[in-house]
């Protein structure tokens, strides 16, 4: 598909997954193929289907189920599409349809598919040998279990359009609607590029851990995160290969990029990507182009992040493995009568200071603390004073507990009131204390509370 200039057929109207079908429709629409020729092609396709059905049943049955016939027809059309899509232009493909019998094109398609399968198998074995040593489950499962399924189960003769693989790991580039061997070939090609780039860097797991504590189960594209951090480091003048960022680096990047327009950011990132490729000695033109297209996509996300002052979601601080395991063991809850007595006592207290004193003295369990906060016995203007008396660790637990995205569906009004009060308190905390609290909160294991 190299030249689409002066084409009568609109390339945009062709569907890669159903190329033969859409090409035939479009070629008819622009009068490259006449109605009579199209009808002849349909008849030829029927003969092809009959031949395939006969092969499928090994001549032992004169009829097949409709779903089987449909599968065979889709497979045949896919096989024809594989040949036609490789033609220089859609017009050339339409002319090939006129010039050659459908059965001849089908034979060519089968050969092309077989060639693509061997090529994909070679790409896969090379990719497997160079696989990144990462803890992300989706990456490992897709690479070592999902893709091999395809080579075991792909039926190029009767289900060429199917993709019998379990591919969950998302690529940086969204693949166009494709299926069968064409999808796997392109997926492997993209994953090879992403792996080749990421293999220049160490401690990717630490970086991913900084991205999210549950990075092992996360549905994320690793290449995008690594590329962003590598570009961030390049922009800060750090030598390649370097992806470790600090909060100071994040602030410096925010200061550097915030005043820039979207166009300037794009130019700066493309320049950084070019420099990065030079530093990493990336000579493959296709990899360079892949990185460039990923940078263009990154720009969109980065602009939003700058606008929302969440640049830390793009340029991630790595978190060493030793940091991210803080376990929390709560004390037993107090009895219900004791809890009722305590809340009654809090109701009777006149000042926030007195309430803070009772909380500090009588509450020994984090669950009791959150229950008290949500028990309508503390006034809205008293929360800040109470929070201020709590230790950094307790505040970190509260920070971890308070929902980040304003989930209102699962909480009572009183609970929402203290969540809101805590968020306001966190905003007014001095920067050093806030950092301490957030560091502890981030290090908490999801199962810690």
* Shortest CB 60 distance to other proteins, Å: 3
Nearest residue to 421 (alpha-carbon basis) of 394, 440, 398, 444: 398
Question: Residue 291 corresponds to which tokens in the numbers above?
Answer: 């990185």
* Shortest CB 53 distance to other proteins, Å: 5
Alpha helices in 199-241, H assignment, sequence order: 204-211, 222-235
* Shortest CB 20 distance to other proteins, Å: 10
- The Cα 274–Cα 280 span in angstroms is 10
Burial 154-169, CB ≥16 within 10 A → b, else e: bebebbbbbbebebeb
* Shortest CB 87 distance to other proteins, Å: 20
Please pick, from the candidates 62, 118, 308, 329, the single residue that binds other proteins as defined by CB under 8 A.
62
Is 74 near other proteins (CB under 8 A)? yes
- The Cα 316–Cα 319 span in angstroms is 9
Is 55 near other proteins (CB under 8 A)? no
- The Cα 9–Cα 29 span in angstroms is 8
- The Cα 446–Cα 432 span in angstroms is 24
- 21 versus 324: smaller Cβ distance to other proteins: 21
| Contact positions with other proteins (CB under 8 A) in 10-49 | 21, 24-25, 42, 45-46, 49
* Shortest CB 56 distance to other proteins, Å: 10
Please pick, from the candidates 1, 73, 275, 287, the single residue that binds other proteins as defined by CB under 8 A.
73
| Contact positions with other proteins (CB under 8 A) in 370-429 | none
What string marks each residue from 81 to 110 as x (binds other proteins by CB under 8 A) or -?
A: ------------------------------
Tokens 């859409």 sit on residue? 22
Please pick, from the candidates 7, 64, 240, 384, the single residue that binds other proteins as defined by CB under 8 A.
64
Question: Residue 119 corresponds to which tokens in the numbers above?
Answer: 């090529």
Nearest residue to 186 (alpha-carbon basis) of 206, 204, 163, 208: 163
Asked whether the beta carbons of 78 and 177 are under 8 A apart, the reply is no
Q: Cα dihedral sign for 297, 292, 132, 184?
A: positive
- The Cα 408–Cα 372 span in angstroms is 19
Label residue 162 left, alpha or beta by phi (over 0 means left) and psi (-120 to 50 means alpha).
beta
User: Applying CB under 8 A, what is the total number of residues that bind other proteins?
Assistant: 24
Please pick, from the candidates 6, 65, 283, 405, the single residue that binds other proteins as defined by CB under 8 A.
65
* Shortest CB 78 distance to other proteins, Å: 11
Is 155 near other proteins (CB under 8 A)? no
Is 66 near other proteins (CB under 8 A)? yes
* Shortest CB 289 distance to other proteins, Å: 36
- The Cα 109–Cα 76 span in angstroms is 9
Please pick, from the candidates 10, 11, 55, 57, the single residue that binds other proteins as defined by CB under 8 A.
57
Q: Which part of the chain contacts other proteins (CB under 8 A), choosing from 72-80, 88-96, 329-337, 416-424?
A: 72-80
- 80 versus 226: smaller Cβ distance to other proteins: 80
Q: Which residues bind other proteins (CB under 8 A)?
A: 21, 24-25, 42, 45-46, 49-50, 53-54, 57, 60-67, 69-70, 73-74, 77
């Amino acid at each position: 598909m190299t030249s689409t200039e002066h084409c009568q057929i609109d390339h945009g109207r062709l569907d890669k997954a159903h190329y033969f079908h859409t090409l035939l429709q479009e070629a008819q629409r622009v009068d490259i193929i006449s109605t009579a020729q199209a009808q002849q092609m349909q008849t030829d396709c029927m003969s092809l289907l009959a031949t395939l059905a006969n092969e499928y049943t090994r001549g032992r049955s004169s009829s097949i189920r409709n779903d089987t016939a449909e599968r065979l027809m889709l497979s045949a059309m896919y096989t024809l599409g594989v040949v036609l899509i490789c033609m220089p232009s859609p017009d050339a493909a339409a002319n090939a349809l006129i010039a050659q019998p459908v059965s001849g094109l089908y034979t060519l398609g089968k050969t092309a598919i077989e060639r693509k399968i061997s090529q994909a198998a070679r790409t896969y074995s090379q990719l497997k040998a160079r696989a990144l040593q990462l803890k992300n489950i989706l990456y490992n499962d897709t690479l070592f279990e999902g893709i091999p399924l395809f080579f075991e189960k792909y039926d190029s003769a009767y289900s060429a359009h199917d993709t019998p693989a379990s591919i969950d790991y998302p690529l940086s580039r969204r693949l166009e609607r494709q299926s069968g061997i064409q999808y796997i070939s392109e997926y492997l090609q993209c994953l090879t590029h992403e792996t080749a780039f990421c293999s220049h860097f160490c401690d990717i797991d630490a970086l991913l851990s900084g991205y999210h504590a549950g990075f092992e189960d996360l549905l994320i594209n690793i290449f995008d995160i690594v590329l962003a951090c590598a570009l961030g480091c390049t922009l800060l003048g750090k030598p390649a290969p370097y992806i470790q960022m600090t909060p100071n680096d994040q602030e410096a990047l925010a200061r550097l990029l915030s005043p820039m327009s979207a166009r300037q950011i794009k130019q700066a990132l493309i320049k950084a990507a070019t420099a990065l490729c030079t530093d990493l000695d990336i000579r493959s033109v296709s990899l360079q182009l892949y990185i460039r297209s990923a940078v263009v996509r990154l720009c969109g996300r980065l602009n939003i992040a700058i606008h929302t002052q969440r640049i830390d979601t793009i340029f991630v601080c790595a978190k060493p493995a030793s940091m991210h395991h803080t376990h929390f063991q709560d004390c037993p809850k107090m009895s219900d009568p004791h809890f009722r007595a305590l809340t009654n006592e809090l109701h009777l207290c006149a000042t926030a200071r007195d309430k803070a004193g009772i909380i500090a003295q009588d509450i020994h369990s984090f669950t009791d603390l959150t229950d008290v906060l949500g028990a309508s016995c503390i006034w809205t203007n008293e929360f800040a004073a109470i929070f201020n008396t709590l230790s950094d660790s307790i505040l970190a637990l509260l920070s971890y507990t308070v929902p980040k995205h304003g989930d209102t569906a699962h909480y009572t009004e009183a609970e929402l009131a203290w969540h809101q009060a805590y968020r306001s308190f966190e905003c007014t905390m001095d920067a050093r204390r806030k950092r301490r609290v957030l560091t502890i909160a981030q290090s908490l294991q999801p199962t810690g509370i």
